[in-house]
Amino acid sequence: MDAVIVGSGPNGLAAAITLARAGRTVLVREGQPTVGGGMRTMELTLPGFRHDLCSSVHPLAAGSPFLRTLPLAAHGFELLHPEACLAHPFDDGSAVLLVRSVDATAAALGEDAAAYRRLFAPLAGRWNDLAEEILRPFRIPRRPVLMGSFGWSALRSARGLALGRFAGARARALFAGIAAHSCLPLTHAASAAFGLVLGAAAHAVGWPVVRGGTQRLADALSAHLATLGGRLLTDAPVRSLDELPPSAAVLCDVTPRQLLAIAPGLPEGYRRWLERFRYGPGVFKMDWALEAPVPWKAPECLRAATVHLGGTLEEIAVSEQAAWNGAVAERPFVILVQPTLVDPSRAPEGRHTLWAYCHVPHGSDADMSARIEAQIERFAPGFSARILARRAQPPAELARHNENLVGGDINGGAANLLQLVARPTPRAPYTTPRRHLYLCSASTPPGGGVHGMCGHLAARTALERSFGGR
């Protein structure tokens, strides 16, 4: 055996595929009964209603320099694009839509049309170059002009950038909602980065969902790995690396806390770095089976799969700050996905699934169900009457399905400035003090999201260091 990979999330599978493509024999050990980590789809409410357990919307998969090199369509993987990437409704019954065209999106922002175009057109127009630069460890940029202008804005706080660039409440709120995917307070340095990257990705590659559910991506990656000779075991948790079969390299799709638990004998200094690694707020996730689509006050919300519920920049900022500070927001910012509008295959005919979460303090056991449903009801009166069944998953429940979701943190650790540069420690990316042991999860660069880049680049590092560059 050349390499064992612990964990079958997008990064574990990307690492396994990269090694197998280089001719290495690989074994993936997955602790859960099903493959995919954050890419699984299950009947969480009623029979016939298939819900994405974790990730649902895939700008980063669509824009991943690694995933797009794989023959995944041959294994049944297909991205479905809603007419609009994102809808952001307001209390007056109107909504802003982010559509693929920068110009069309800008045109709906009135006084901020020109500012929106200036911000996003250059980034969206050069998405492939931008993705090559940012979906990897921090380095001196190969495209200094592009990265200079991106970095200048990305290092700002989301609030600072939104207030500085836009005059109107609608453009400010739209940007704040996208930036809030960072799980950082919107006043923190570099919280603007997520807003810029996910906004640019929306225009360049879309915010699609996977036909049949995100599980299909996990299944396609696993099928491709099998064609390369890779082996995958489920229901096979690794409690100590000492129990693994002999191999030339081990790559762990786990976060620092789990590495500490399963890797005995790591040097004290390195252990201390891992212990100091900062996890971010958790998420409280909900899924519903619905008898009909959400009755939005602003009907254009039915044109998008993703809807951001938080009204103004100010309200979103209060909600994100609360989760970071250990408090629960009365009116939480809710990220909502209505996949069956684009993919009816996930529910019985005429019925719908709905997916949503809000950020909560790390490890919080607060029940946010009523507050999340109140936010939906606020923008869609009559929503509650359409609910056939619901399932709520607080952080502890999410972590039971996937140990990597420590305290409910979905990004493998906070995406603050320090941990963007040194993730999870200042060592050479992906390496550990144990020569042939590597980390390849979202706790390594470039961080959270379904893009596989952490796993792919960790495997390339392993090929260099443990297999003489091949």
Ligand X SMILES: Cc1cc2nc3c(=O)[nH]c(=O)nc-3n(C[C@H](O)[C@H](O)[C@H](O)COP(=O)(O)OP(=O)(O)OC[C@H]3O[C@@H](n4cnc5c(N)ncnc54)[C@H](O)[C@@H]3O)c2cc1C
**Nearest distance from C-beta of residue 61 to ligand X, angstroms:** 6
Let me know if 101 is exposed, middle or buried by CB neighbors in 10 A (0-12, 13-18, 19+). Answer: exposed
Name the one range near ligand X by CB under 6 A: 9-17, 187-195, 376-384, 415-423.
9-17
As measured in angstroms, the least distance from the Cβ of 15 to ligand X is: 9
Question: Given candidates 9, 195, 293, 395, which one binds ligand X under the rule CB under 6 A?
Answer: 9
Q: Which stretch binds ligand X (CB under 6 A): 50-58, 155-163, 183-191, 288-296?
A: 50-58
Task: For residue 398, state whether it binds ligand X (rule: CB under 6 A).
Answer: yes
Q: Which residues pair with 353 in a beta bridge?
A: 289
Contact (Cβ atoms closer than 8 angstroms) between residue 352 and residue 271:
no
Q: Which of 18, 41, 45, 55 binds ligand X (CB under 6 A)?
A: 55
Determine the size of the site formed for ligand X (CB under 6 A). 42
Of the residues 5, 12, 391, 458, which one makes contact with ligand X according to CB under 6 A: 12
Whichever of 50 and 170 has its CB closer to ligand X, that residue is: 50
Q: In angstroms, give the least distance from the CB of 5 to ligand X.
A: 9
Q: Under the criterion CB under 6 A, does residue 432 sit at the interface with ligand X?
A: no
57 belongs to the binding site for ligand X (CB under 6 A)? yes
End-to-end Cα separation, the chain, in angstroms:
15
Buried b (16+ CB within 10 A) or exposed e, 293-331: bbbbbbebbbbbbbbbbbbbbebbbbbbbbbbeeebbeb
Closest separation in Å from C-beta 401 to ligand X: 8
Q: Does 258 bind ligand X (CB under 6 A)?
A: yes
Q: Is 10 in the site for ligand X (CB under 6 A)?
A: yes
Give the residue with the Cβ less far from ligand X, 105 or 402. Answer: 402
Taking CB under 6 A as the rule, does residue 342 contact ligand X?
no
Give the shortest CB-305-to-ligand X separation in angstroms: 10
Strand 334-337 vs strand 304-309: parallel, antiparallel, or unpaired?
Answer: antiparallel
If one asks whether residue 37 binds ligand X (CB under 6 A), the answer comes out as yes
403 lies in the binding site for ligand X (CB under 6 A): yes
Rounded alpha-carbon distances, angstroms, from residue 287 to 52, 354, 355, 394? 9, 6, 5, 12
Under rule CB under 6 A, residue 60 binds ligand X: yes
Nearest to residue 218, comparing CAs of 449, 443, 37? 37
* Residue (of 266, 221, 208) closest to 52 by Cα position: 208
- Could you tell me the smallest distance in angstroms from the CB atom of residue 28 to ligand X? 9
The region of 3-11, 62-70, 189-197, 321-329 touching ligand X under the rule CB under 6 A is 3-11
Separation CA 311–CA 376 (nearest Å) = 11
Rule CB under 6 A: choose which of 449, 458, 459, 463 binds ligand X.
449
CB atoms closer than 10 angstroms to residue 467: 18
Establish if 82 lies at the interface with ligand X (CB under 6 A).
no
Residue ranges in 404-423 that form contacts with ligand X under rule CB under 6 A: 404-405, 410-412
Give whichever of 99 and 198 is closer to ligand X, judged by the CB atom: 198
Residues 271-300 within binding reach of ligand X (CB under 6 A): 283, 285
Does 247 help bind ligand X (rule: CB under 6 A)? no
Q: Smallest distance, Å, CB 144 to ligand X?
A: 28
Residue numbers at the binding site for ligand X (CB under 6 A): 6-12, 29-32, 37-38, 54-58, 60, 237-238, 253-254, 258, 262, 283, 285, 357, 398, 402-405, 410-412, 441-442, 448-450, 454
